[in-house]
Amino acid sequence: MDPNKNVAPYLVQPLPVYFLSGLILVNLIAIFQWDPFYIGSLFAFLYIVITPGFLMLPFLTQKKLAPMLGVTLSIALSILMLMLVGLGLNTVLPQLGMHQPLSTIPLLIAFDGLIYLLLVLNFIYKKNSPFEFHEFNFFSWIIAGV
């Protein structure tokens, strides 16, 4: 891949469609609580634990990261952001008269707002993907297959 080649921001590619589709699926799983074989819970857990950090990571580093390092940092950032959002909800909502601030619906609304905000900021600032993917050539496919 030519480093001088103009790379489109990753939000112009189909990635935001995947993020929004995943968010809709997480909302459906949380609201309707239909979860055969706990597959939906596993998907929702992985989405909630990785996505916010993945969307925040381009703002914190200009350097391209190896995929596993990027996923690890994304998970750490996601947990930090989810803790701060939960703390904020637990502090503000009781003062507004809500006696169960950490129930499903307020948490879901706050999480949706966080994801939408991060998607919009990534689109406005045209951030590129924080991960460095190497080309997978024929020899790499043979090694992976073996």
The 10s digit of each residue's pLDDT in 53-76 is: 999 998 998 888 888 888 899 999
- pLDDT at 7 (0 to 100): 53
> 21-50: per-residue pLDDT in tens?
999 999 999 998 878 888 989 999 999 999
What percentage of the chain carries pLDDT values higher than 70?
Answer: 89
Higher pLDDT, 14 or 62: 62
d(CA 85, CA 88): 5
Cα gap 79→39, rounded to integer Å: 21
Residue 132 Rama label (left phi>0; alpha psi -120 to 50; beta) = beta
pTM, full prediction: 0.79
Residue 122 has pLDDT above 90, yes or no: no
Q: Which residue has the higher pLDDT, 62 or 112?
A: 112
**Res 139: pLDDT:** 81
Residue pair 52/114 in contact by the 8 Å Cβ criterion: yes
Q: How far is CA 83 from the centre of its chain?
A: 15
Q: What pLDDT sits at residue 5?
A: 54
In this structure, are residues 90 and 83 in contact, taking their beta carbons and an 8 Å threshold?
Answer: no
